[in-house]
Structure 1
Amino acid sequence: MSDPLSRLQLRHYRLIHAIAETGQLSLAADRLAISQPAASRMLGEVERDLHAEVFERHPKGMRPTPIGGVLARRAGALLSDLEVTALEVQAFRAGRSGTVRVGAVTGAAVGLVVPALRRLREDVSDADVHVQVGPSVQLMAALTEDKRDFVLCRVPPDADMREFDVLGRRAEETRLVVRAGHPLSAAGPLPYAAIAGFAWVVQARGTPLREAFQAALRDARVAQPSEVINTTSLLVTIACLHSTDAIAPVSREVAQVICGPAPDGLRTLPMATPVEMPPYHLIRRKDRQISPLAERLLGIIRQALT
């Protein structure tokens, strides 16, 4: 950029744009809420710096010279960009745009995060949302490394919670899901002994869901399943259920999503004694600022928990 142009300030571009649009120095001054002599002095500064006339003076007004036309066009683009920037900043501050990064265990993602995002979208103009679904250990690691704004997960036994705020909790109910027409689907409330001998499609050993059902079987003195398909994929789970007589322990929220009214869909088994998993928590880092959009989503989820 040449030295003369580098001396032009935003007020100069505003004046050039206003004169080009109105064709009158007095009207441009009125638009900018300055006096006509002040506008005349400002235009003189521009023309002195550029060593060229920016506007031709005529009895009926002013029109841009060739160099003035270039400046007027670029001034219009600059002011338009500034207006868009101001609107974007305003939307960001109001939590109507920006980035939010949330992590959740599967049940919380389905039961809390998705409904909260639906509410958030009612007046959000430009949101970049990242949702990580996974086990609690991974989610807490992501939060610790500042890769997530907040998470919905269980607290790992070795977690140092002094650097986190726990903002709410929810106990997670479970369901057993099978295909329509499963040998047990027409039965009444079932004891755990009724599901012995069937294959399971379930998360890996050590996960809260699997641990809760294994404990329930032990308490009922029922043998653990001998055939187990270990997977964290909901699509794999659904495919296995449709094609076999396997049983899938899932959270209540997941069961509500995958069990539909279709005749050939999936069904939940009525169990005489429901199984509850340990509660998950809404957790964020202490003294860590997150975007206004993330704060809004956090508030919606926190309200749902209470």
Structure 2
Amino acid sequence: MKPLNSSWFVRARLKSRHIPLLVALGDTGNLNRAAEGLGISQPAISKLLKELEDGLEVALFERHARGVVPTLYGEAMIRHARRIQTSLEDAFDEVCAMRGGQRGHVRIGTILTPCAELLPELTRRVKQSHPNLELSIRTGSSLDLMAILNDGELDFLVARFFADSAQTGMCFEPLYKEPLCVCARAGLINHVLSREDLHAADWVLPPSGSVLRHEFDALFQHVGMYPPSKVVNAENLLMVTTLLEQNDMLTVLPREVVAHYARYGMLAIAELDAGIEEDLNRNLMAYGIITKNEELLSPAARSVLALLRESAQLLPPVERSAV
């Protein structure tokens, strides 16, 4: 075990009060407003900041007439301070949950497709085996969720893994490729659509830069066509389905998601000329379980992760590979 007095934060005389100080200054960029938020005086906050800078032997903030601006050192310390504060709050929540007879709080990040079947199945299993456990499910793009996981605000993800943006310590367990399809409101499309029909149609699509939008644009670029220009950009699924319901528009969604809405007569898969759907799914990445520092997860999070892996066995497997 490393001796405590050899740690930098002991030598720099880091105090617990320095953590909320850094977060407050990062949020406000102003000593007076940070002092008000922390309930201490402005001279006291200046003294704390000087202690920290003296201990680290670097300037964390540049002082200006209208406030303070973090240096590169300050930005790094603010980022880590946020993580420490989140971890301490999680520890308190976990202790309170156990003290109250609960089993803790688990936070999962997920892309859209697992919300149709995998996450509901996981939730069912969690409620059966851990009825008092609090479960939070956050949806978003894979890139955004990976950043949130890296900041310690999520326990694990069900998402796509991007090696170029991966942070040290992240592991990926591929589960399933989510086939995409073209769809519209039920009854709108009654004929087979060609690539030219798709190009001329009105669309509601996720913004440029998303994986789904990239695959959609490649569908046309592959044959030397420009992507459609009559596009409304929208990420929120409620907005997408409402636009489809009220307009003669098409969209691209995972088949599992469309199947869910088709059961209620809201959406229908459009029939396409041969080869179009294969092109749409040609380079689609599999999604899977993404973890970071799994050994540091709470007992509740490890239990839910085990249940997630059990639930995932119900899905058609893809070739497993270590990352």
Q: Does the Cα contact within 8 Å between 1:107 and 1:172 map onto a contact in 2? A: yes
Q: 2 CA distance for matches of 1:124 and 1:287?
A: 20
| 1:115 alignment partner, SS class | helix
What SS class does the counterpart of residue 121 from structure 1 fall into? helix
Query: Using the alignment, how far apart are the partners of 2:288 and 2:172 within structure 1?
Result: 7
Contact 1:192 1:220 in 2 (8 A): no
Alignment correspondent of 1:224 = 227
| Corresponding position: 1:211 with 2:229 | no
- The one-letter code matched in structure 2 to 1:201 is V
- 2:165 is paired with a residue whose SS is coil
Contact 1:202-1:249 within 8 A present in 2 as well: yes
* Residues 91 and 192 of structure 1: CA distance in aligned 2, closer, same or farther (over 3 Å): farther
Residues matched between the structures, number: 212
Is 1:104 aligned to 2:107, yes or no? no
Separation in 1, partners of 2:144, 2:132: 28
Deviations 1:36-78 (A, max 9, x none): xxxxxxxxxxxxxxxxxxxxxxxxxxxxxxxxxxxxxxxxxxx
Q: Secondary structure at the match of 1:215?
A: helix
Q: Are the counterparts in 2 of residues 192 and 222 from structure 1 also a CA contact under 8 Å?
A: no
Q: 1:192 to 1:153 in 2, by over 3 A?
A: same
1:253 aligned counterpart, secondary structure: helix
Give the direction of change, closer, same or farther, for the CA distance of 1:287–1:153 in structure 2 (3 Å limit): closer
1:197 to 196, 200, 205: 200
Do the aligned residues in 2 keep the contact of 1:202 with 1:229 (CA within 8 Å)? yes
Relative to structure 1, the CA distance from residue 261 to residue 131 in structure 2 (aligned partners, 3 Å threshold; closer, same or farther) is closer
Residue 297 and residue 270 in structure 1: after superposition, are their counterparts in 2 closer, same or farther (change >3 A)? Answer: farther
Tell me which residue corresponds to 2:130: 124
1:289 is aligned to 2:289: no
After TM superposition, give the deviation of residue 156 of structure 1 in Å: 3.0
Question: Secondary structure of the residue that 2:288 maps to in structure 1?
Answer: strand
- Are residues 123 and 158 of structure 1, via their aligned partners in 2, closer, same or farther at CA, if it must alter by over 3 Å? same
Instruction: Give how far 1:261 is off.
Output: 4.5
Residue 139 of structure 1 deviates from its aligned partner by 0.5
Partner of 1:186: 190
Quote the residue 1:46 is aligned against: none
**Could you list the runs of 5+ residues in structure 2 that have no partner in the other structure?**
1-94, 318-323
Task: Work out which of the residue numbers 260, 263, 280 in structure 1 matches 2:263.
Answer: 260
Provide the rounded CA distance (Å) in 2 between the counterparts of 1:245 and 1:222.
23
Q: 2:174 aligns with which of 165, 168, 182?
A: 168
**Paired residues of 1:104 and 1:134 also in contact (CA < 8 A):** yes
Looking at structure 2, the residues matched to 287 and 187 of structure 1 have their Cα atoms a distance apart, in angstroms, of 50
Cα shift at 1:237? 0.6
C-alpha separation in 2, matches of 1:152 and 1:123: 21
Whether the aligned pair in 1 keeps the contact of 2:98 and 2:104 (CA below 8 Å) is: no
* Alignment partners' CA distance in 1, 2:305 and 2:101: 17
Q: 1:224 to 1:175 in 2, by over 3 A?
A: same
**Whole-Å Cα distance in 1 between the matches of residues 100 and 296 of structure 2?**
18
Query: Is contact 2:175-2:286 (8 Å) kept?
Result: yes
Q: TM-score, normalised by structure 1?
A: 0.63
Aligned-pair CA distance for 1:88: 5.4
Q: Is the 8 A contact 1:203 1:232 kept in 2?
A: yes
Q: Which has the larger radius of gyration?
A: 1
- State the alpha-carbon separation in 2 of the partners of residues 233 and 136 from structure 1: 15
Per-residue CA deviation, residues 213-257 of structure 1 (Å, 9 max, x unaligned), is: 110122134442111111111111111101111101111222122
- Are the aligned partners of 1:168 and 1:302 in contact in 2 as well (CA < 8 Å)? no
The residue that corresponds to 2:61 in the other structure is: none
Amino acid in structure 1 at the alignment position of 2:139: V
**Residues 263-287 of structure 1: CA deviation (Å, up to 9, x unaligned):** xx22111233322221123111125
- When residues 280 and 287 of structure 1 are mapped into structure 2, their CA distance, relative to the original with a 3 A threshold, is closer
Letter in 2 for 1:186: N
Residue 102 of structure 1 contacts residue 148 of structure 1 at CA under 8 Å; is this kept in 2?
yes
* Gap change, CA 1:302 and 1:123, over 3 Å in 2: closer
d(CA) in 2 for partners of 1:154, 1:235: 22
Amino acid aligned to 2:133: A
